[in-house]
Every structure is written in C-alpha cells, then in structure tokens.
Amino acid sequence: MVEPPKSSGEPLIADPSGPESVVDVLTVDDQPVFRDLARLVLRTTQGFRSVGEVSSGEEALEIIDEVNPQLVLIDVRMPGMGGIEAARRISHAHPEALIVLISIEDPDELPSTAQDSGATALVRKQDFGPTMLRDLWARYGA
C-alpha cells in the first residue's frame, strides 16, 4: 500500500543499514532538476549511493537487472510508461526492491492505480531530502 512515511522529527543515525552497508538507489524521473537533486542528496547522505539515473520507465526496466538497486525512486508522471506502470513491473520482477513513488502531487490526488503498483510509499518531491531518505529506509528497508 502506498502511503507517505511518517517522520518522528528526531534525526536518525547517519547510516540506517549498519556501519558497512550501503543502499544502492536507482532514480527514475524525466525532470533533470529532480535527478540532480536526488544525486546531491544521495552523495551527501551516508549509507546511500546512486547506481543509476534514467528518465523513463522504459529505461528503468532496461537497466534494473544490471544495477540491481535496493531502493528505486520513481516519478509518478512521465511521458511514455509512467511511474505507476513501471513500479508495477519492477515490483513483480524484483520484489526485494523497495519502490518509492515520487510526485509533486499529494497522495490523495494520485490515480487509484498507485495503490496497486507495488510501491511501498509515496514521497512528495517537495519533502525529499536526507532526513526523508533515512526515514524511508529505516521504516521500510531491509
């Protein structure tokens, strides 16, 4: 079920997955500005690293097996295959991956198909940052 993560307001430890673990992240968004932001957040948040950035659902499906991410950040609305369909396909092929839909829209404004996409959570782009990333992994990650 897709739901926004709840933040306790208290900072989490810098590396939520342990001192030696790194969470591999694939970013899927057609907007270069958000991909740039995600790259910066991942570079500056200990315990996370980017293993790829693509601008479409189709591209995500092409590289998912190669990059084998633990976390997939995927925009809901993209030309071609949208994020909801891409999330559905990725979650079917890679059920171990944590899929997070990202959108400028509030959760109640999204299509009802978002609930059945296989994504675990929805994050508004306006709220995305290091604390949100750590909170997501602490709450939903392996």
Quick one: which of 45, 51, 52 has its CA closest to 17? Answer: 45
pLDDT at 97 exceeding the cut of 90:
yes
Mean pLDDT, range 4-21, rounded to an integer: 44
Residue-range domain boundaries for the chain: 23-140
**So what's the pLDDT on residue 111?**
67
The DSSP H or E segment spanning 131 is helix 130-140
3-state helix, strand, coil in the chain (%, to 5): 40, 20, 40
Residues 88-115, mean pLDDT to the nearest whole number: 85
pLDDT score for 108: 72
Query: Residue 12's pLDDT band (boundaries 50, 70, 90)?
Result: very low
For the chain, the C-alpha Rg in angstroms (whole number) is 14
Instruction: Output the pTM of the full model.
Output: 0.82
Q: Crossing angle of helices 83-93/57-67, nearest 10°? A: 20
Percent share of the chain, pLDDT over 70: 82
User: How far is 34 from 83, CA to CA, in rounded Å?
Assistant: 14
pLDDT of residue 11: 36
b/e string for 78-91 if b means 16 or more Cβ within 10 A? beebbbbbbbbbbb
Q: Would you place residue 13 in the very low, low, confident or very high pLDDT band (cuts 50, 70, 90)?
A: very low
102, 29 Cβ separation under 8 angstroms:
yes
CATH topology of domain 23-140: Rossmann fold (3.40.50)
pLDDT at position 20 is: 59
pLDDT attached to residue 17: 44
Q: Could you tell me the two tokens for 56?
A: 């479409």
Mean pLDDT of 57-77: 96
Q: Note the pLDDT tens digit of each residue in 23-51.
A: 999 999 999 999 999 999 999 999 999 99
Distance CA 75, CA 84 (A): 8
User: Mind giving me the DSSP string for 59-92?
Assistant: HHHHHHHHH--SEEEEES--SSS-HHHHHHHHHH
Averaged pLDDT, 83-107: 91
